[in-house]
Amino acid sequence: MKDKVVIITGGSSGIGRACALAFGRAGGKIVISARNTQKLQEVGQELQEAGVQYLAVAGDVSQEADCRRLIEETVARFGRIDVMLNNAGISMRALFQDVDLDVIRQLMDINFWGTVYCTKYALPYLLQSKGSVIGVSSIAGYQGLPGRTGYSASKFAMQGFLGSLRTETLQQGLHVMIACPGFTASNIRNTALSADGSQQGESPRDESKMMSAEEVADHILAATRKRKRELVLTTQGKLAVLLGKFLPGLTDKLVYNQMKKEPNSPFK
């Protein structure tokens, strides 16, 4: 990663922050973007203390103009782009029959369109460098999760988009990877939207039993170096993907029963 220019959306916390530090310590020049300016500055301070060259660009990936500006400022500062890490994301937890449709629109705008916008404007530079486009997706992009219809829809859409882009650029040297961390100890569940669009607050899952954001970042860095096409983490995640291919009916039942066990589950 020495002197590679790496853009990370959702870089102010969780997996995004961990990736910024991991790729930076590996020699990369890091560009972090997020809506929360204060947290973005805090991560920038961490990068500076680690001796990493960085640029922080505040912005909202659901806004096309912000994504274009992110790419323009990166190129103006560093002159190239080697990795576009589409990490910004938001989740939800509500039954489809109860959810406000604006919640699903918001998830699609951030999780899917944010990836499309950033990748679109970064693509010319990535083709020049034969770089990497990475989408931080989820097991929800392979298996529809009950109570998370909008989240699963956005991740299925992201994976379809990136899979098509991979094939489209097959002869141009572009590396495209879909990374699915499984349940990770990050703030995505705390900021997940409820049926009315409000944040759910406390996570319904035991974060202490999950893979840390730092572990996920190390895996993503290693997989980027190896130019893998797919990264599925955690035993539970790998099992869900495998069973979903060969025993989809059984997988549906197992996933339903697992989600039903969550505290304050909407299925009770």
- Which residues are annotated as catalytic? 151
Residue pointed to by tokens 């989740």: 91
Sign of CA dihedral 133, 86, 146, 234: positive
The residue type found at 185 is A
Euclidean distance between CA atoms 29 and 81, whole angstroms? 10
Q: What is the rounded distance in angstroms from the CA atom of residue 199 to the CA atom of residue 91?
A: 10
Residue with tokens 């991740």: 155
Whether the CB-CB separation of 92 and 75 falls below 8 Å is answered with: no
Residues in the chain: 268
